Amino acid sequence: MQEGKLFVFSAPSGSGKTTLVQHLLTQELPLGFSVSATSREPRGDEINGTDYHFLSLADFRQKIDAHAFIEYEEVYAGVFYGTLKSELERLWAQGKHVLFDIDVKGGLRIKEQYPDQTLALFIHPPSKEALKKRLGARGTEDEKAIEMRLARAEEELSFAPQFDTIIINDDLEVAKKQVVAQVRRFIGL
């Protein structure tokens, strides 16, 4: 099985990383999206197997015990996120490079395990105020959940210097061009 490149996109919620990853997937590049697993409930119109692999907390813990994850993290109390080894195997078998939309600690763990194959990109919001506005505009969470995400954002921003590249997403069109250029360069196109 040919092992491809890994592209880790990490950022605080609301920074635009998912939008940028989705943009990359529309480009004519040999990329595939690694669907993360989570123990949280689906939000809005999220689809199991497409947006996330939604697992019960017991199932998630069983997969931890079975060493089925490349990385995982208890992001909030009782809420786990992780990357299943089977996702890399699935995408590499298709001859694709793997895109991750993942929390900062998980992203750095992937970079640590695959240092030469991984480009770790940190998507930085233009400001905390912009981040709060973006989270509120989603309409998927209440004020308490937004405040919890903003508090977590403070910690996540402290990890930015450990990433290969920091992209400040204050202009979405510019950020889209930057990520495409970074990915093309790392693949060697």
Q: What is the pLDDT of residues 109-137, one digit of tens each?
A: 999 999 999 999 999 887 777 776 766 67
Q: Note whether residue 1 is domain-resident.
A: no
Number of domains in the chain: 1
Q: What is the mean pLDDT of residues 1-24?
A: 86
Q: What is the pLDDT of residue 126?
A: 76
Q: Note whether residue 116 is domain-resident.
A: yes
The CA distances from residue 61 to 38, 72, 110, in Å, are 11, 10, 20
Q: What is the pLDDT of residue 1?
A: 40
Q: What is the mean pLDDT of residues 82-92?
A: 94
pLDDT at position 138 over 70:
no
Q: Average pLDDT over the chain, rounded to whole?
A: 90
CATH code of the domain covering residue 49: 3.40.50.300
Q: What is the pLDDT of residue 55?
A: 97
Q: Note whether residue 171 is domain-resident.
A: yes
